[in-house]
Structure 1
Amino acid sequence: MDQQSVSFTVSKDDFSSALAWVARTLPSKASQPILRGVLIEATDDGLQLSGFDREVSTKVRVSADVSEPGKVLVAGRLASNIIGALPDKPVRIDYDGTKVLVNCGSSHFELPAMTIDDYPVLPDFPQVAGSLDPHLFTEVIGQVAIASSRDDTLPMLTGIRMEIDGEHLVLAATDRFRFAVRTLDWVPARADIFAELLIPARTLAETARSLDSTGEPVEIALDQDGGRLLGISTSDRRTTTRLIDSDFPKFRSLFPKTHTSLASVEIAPLLDAIRRVSLVTDGNSPVKMDFEEGTLTLSAGGSDLGVAKEQLPCAFAGEPLVIAFHPGYLKDGLGSVHTDRVVFGFNQASRSAVLVPEPDELPEASADGTFPTPESSFTYLLMPVRLPG
């Protein structure tokens, strides 16, 4: 089928933003080169840019002055890099059926067009299930996605589990060494909605970051026909992704309800101290934390690089203990606690610790001397590193 000519003029910033948003999900290498393309559809209503790698689809609308409607397929990342580097002037695109001409001020580019005939049909957008504030959406996904695995050989760990039960959402992720769980409320399309999904964490995190600046409610859409598709949209941007067809680990029983000791520490000084004592390690060696009443002592090293030690004030109650953590996982957890202070809940040095934002009041000890886990919408469970001896 012969491709028709296309011609339009568009704002450089709008076009660059839209191209970058679509191109970010395109594969740099693909068995089918056509999947590296961005489809540009020009109509009297403006432009629609689309990308699809058969797993994730994206669509974004942009205002433009269209003089010749039509469609053209261009290499997405190349086009995004070129448009992003242009001066801040209107961009004119002309397509004559074989090549794409880009003109902006004194800059001129000539790009080959990709054959559009075999470009896959994008999936239909699912039915909207509910919505939530975009800033909350970005915050929640950022807190949870940090704990997801990057190991594609274990697909169930590369996703974020989303549980929908009416007005309540629960999101969870793990890489076997830590768990991050966040609960929140949203605005469901219907009160009796229920669903359990496993969503690719990388796609969800990238989408959350890109939607935060719009200020408009984020809509979550679900395939109502038993399919495996999730949709995320604002007024001018839409993403769909295939869900992960795997079972997420059962996690609720892993979180202890009581602790033999609690510690409250200011986060910013703790992060600085972890970075400093880690200078005498290879970056993966554990950081030891010695908790006692009023004081937390951090230490690391012992190899040829030397030894580091630092003390911080700490509100502590319960049985003193010495425990060690992977510094990267510990910093990830502290960075996901969006309060000035963090509360650690411990039982034994060999068992998982719980990190939660500090509440207004710390819980009192029960009759048996244990402390209940402080109530929180976010919990980070972290496995310790076994110390020698």
Structure 2
Amino acid sequence: MRDILVLAYVVVALSTLSFVPSRLGPEIWATHWAIWIKQFQEHGLVAGYYAVRDVYPPMTFSVFALISLLPWPQYATFKVIQSILLFATGVSVYAWRRNLGIATATMLGLAANSMIFESTDIFFTPFLIGALIALADRRWIMFSTLYSIALLFKWQPIILTPFFLIWIWPELRRPRVWAELLVAALVVLGSEIGFFGSEVILGILRAPGARTFFSGNAFNLNWVVGWVNALASGEASVPDLGPTSPMLTIKQYLFHVPGWLWTTSQIVSLTSFAALIVGFGFTKRSPRTLLLFCTTATVSYAMLHTEVHENHLHIAVISSALLAAAAPSYLPVFIFWATAMTFNLFAYLSSWPRVIGGIDVTLLVAAMNVSVFVALWIHTMRQPRWPFRRAVPEAETESASA
């Protein structure tokens, strides 16, 4: 009970961050969530969801519909819901390994994306954490239920599906496992699709084909490549912004990235992701390896793919927090990516200067992020027992790890 009270105190303290001025916070509320509430008020739940016609699944829209029905100020209610779900996130992490330090650090690592800015990622976070824990512990009904619920808030967790399927595959020889997985998923997903209709499917189909952002203000490889391309084409100068200018999006010249660069970026990203899937197939299953591959895969997406935004390391922070709980030697991995996302959010959504001493700090940060990702990718790809590598005796492995 004492540890739970500590987590509650941390959440109350973090809730004060909701009042930190954000350069784009009110704009995000006004241009997204306030419009959703208006659509619900004008058209109702189902017709309002169709009117929004966004890539989000219906549960996120339903939360804002609920907010509009409650008798309290809408923005304050939104912040209270964020606080409650952040607390549930910390409790979920703590309940797995009884590690108060990791649970607290998880809430701190997610605080910027969950409390200061207007992201809805925290809506699915406790459910995804519960799904990862249930999967690691082979509790199939709980996993299938919680993962299905997480997907109904946002589609991004679906990128973990290949690793989940590989983890589950040896268990599918038992019909009971099939039944537990399918029934739970069909009840959750089927009921939602049955209620909201085809727009649930159309939303996820619209997302992959988008070509809006080469880098949506994410400090990744495309952030650097887009800047270099802008220099080469004469669309940007060095430095691009003055030393006192706030951090602004560079989408004005990322929009002009040639098609072959878009295609190359996506091929590189998909190749990295596919290699991780194959590698996990040759890896001995354990909670550590499951969470390691999930972490590296989500970081791979965030560092290499197009359409990545400043908050898209969120799932990587979640999985790396659980990885640190399962294997404390990976604590630096969690700390780095939690810090990387927090810096990215503050640099873009606050008034931090982008150029200091004539140096574009964001480019240096992006280069560091990519370098750490490459090191993590190499480490992860050394885990599989590749058929072309010499088998290492178990005793030798144990002595090396000791």
> Same fold per TM (> 0.5)?
no
* Structure with higher strand content: 1
Relative contact order higher in (CA < 8 Å, ≥ 6 apart):
2
Q: Please give the range of the TM-score, normalised by the shorter of the 2 chains.
A: under 0.3
| Higher radius of gyration, 1 or 2 | 1
TM-score (norm 1): 0.23
Using the size of structure 2 for normalisation, the TM-score is: 0.22
Higher helix share: 2
